[in-house]
Amino acid sequence: MEVNSWINKNFVSLHFVENFINFVKKGVVHMNKALANLILTGLLITLGFLVLNPGFMKNLPKFNLPSLPTDFTIQKDSSKDTPKESATLEKKTEQTPVKKEVFKVQPADGKGTLTPDVKAEMLTSSFWIQQLEEESIPVMSLSELSTLNSEIIKRVPVVYELDNYAEQLTKQELSRYITYYKVPDKTMYDYNGKALSQSFFTSISDNRNLAAIKETNKVRYGIVVKKGSIRSFPTESGAYSSSTDRNLDRFQETG
């Protein structure tokens, strides 16, 4: 009676074991017979143990996985400077604001914030010289450097040799430099995802004030001492290739 009761109770499990073994047999047809028999024997022993000890799995140690945070809410951003359809992830608890200067490199006067993962000593030439295995060996001689500089000037059209640069530019030459960047001929979008109109491009073209350029213009030199925002056109308005992706302002020339 006890044997019949056990068989009736575990008939489904035994039937599953039989089907599983047949399935494995089909998968090992092309395997070495000895290896196949070894695998099947191990599977049979394991499955038989689990059938005879149904409570074994329950006694295994449990692992507590970290739960997801529940203190976040999605809120619509109603700011005029951001698109209406954008959503911000706002934490209910106190939030640390992100400073706009977080990606600026620390200037020489020590003010400002370093770019993430950049240390102050990395801003000095000595830090990188020390990384060289043989720092005392010159990479190039003075004549080799001069030759390299000459080749760069010849091959790169935007690099100029200031010693031989013109002392003045004609109206036509200066206009050509200013109009080097062409107004996009495809649909562009503003920060809010709205297509930029033709009147917008006309206005920024007019802002270049080409008519005010003199017939001859004396060349003067200057040195950039602060990080500046260089734009393709005289406007602070952004232009984006996509109505939803605002990671890259196509009018921004510097980071």
Listed range (52-61, 69-78, 116-125, 146-155) with the worst mean pLDDT = 69-78
Top mean pLDDT of 6-10, 56-60, 231-235 is at 231-235
Cβ partners under 8 Å of residue 135, min gap 6: 129
Question: Which of these ranges, 23-27, 136-140, 150-154, 215-219, has the smallest mean pLDDT?
Answer: 23-27
Alpha carbons 148 and 143: distance in angstroms, whole number: 9
* Chain CA centroid to CA 83, Å: 22
Final residue before a domain boundary, out of 56, 73, 89 = 56
State residue 100's pLDDT score: 42
Q: Which residues contact 94 (CB under 8 A, 6 or more apart)?
A: none
d(CA 176, CA 208): 12
pLDDT at 224: 83
Task: Using alpha carbons only, give the angle 8, 9, 12 rounded to the nearest 5 degrees.
Answer: 85
Nearest Cα neighbor of 233 from 174, 182, 157 is 182
Q: Which residue has the tokens 């068989």?
A: 7
DSSP-derived secondary structure for 34-82: HHHHHHHHHHHHHHHHHHH-TTTGGGSPP--PPPPP--EEEEE---TTS
User: pLDDT above 70 covers what percent of the chain?
Assistant: 62
Cβ proximity of 209 and 161 under 8 Å = no
Domain closes at, from 40, 56, 72: 56
Least confident of 117-126, 131-140, 145-154: 131-140
Banded pLDDT at 99 (limits 50, 70, 90): very low
Q: For the chain, how long is the longest CA-to-CA vector? A: 115
Residue 146 placed within a domain:
no
Q: Which two tokens stand for residue 149?
A: 């500089």
Question: Contacts for 21-24 with beta carbons within 8 Å, 24 or more apart?
Answer: none
Residue that finishes a domain, picked among 30, 56, 82 = 56
Look at residue 222 and tell me if it is in a domain: yes
- Torsion angle defined by CA atoms of residues 20, 26, 30 and 36, in that order, rounded to the nearest 10 degrees: 30
The pTM of the full predicted model, rounded to 2 decimals, is 0.43
Instruction: Indicate whether 243 belongs to any domain.
Output: yes
Assigned domain for 174 exists: yes
Contact (Cβ atoms closer than 8 angstroms) between residue 189 and residue 239: yes
Q: Structural domain tally of the chain?
A: 2
Kindly state the average pLDDT of the residues 185-194: 93
pLDDT at 74: 47
With respect to residue 41, please indicate whether it lies within any of the assigned structural domains. Answer: yes
Would residue 111 count as lying in a domain? no
Q: How many Å apart are CA 250 and CA 255, to the nearest integer?
A: 12
Whether residue 31 is contained in a domain is answered as: yes
Q: Residue 67 domain-assigned? A: no
Residue 15 belongs to domain spanning: 2-56
E strand or H helix at 199: helix 198-206
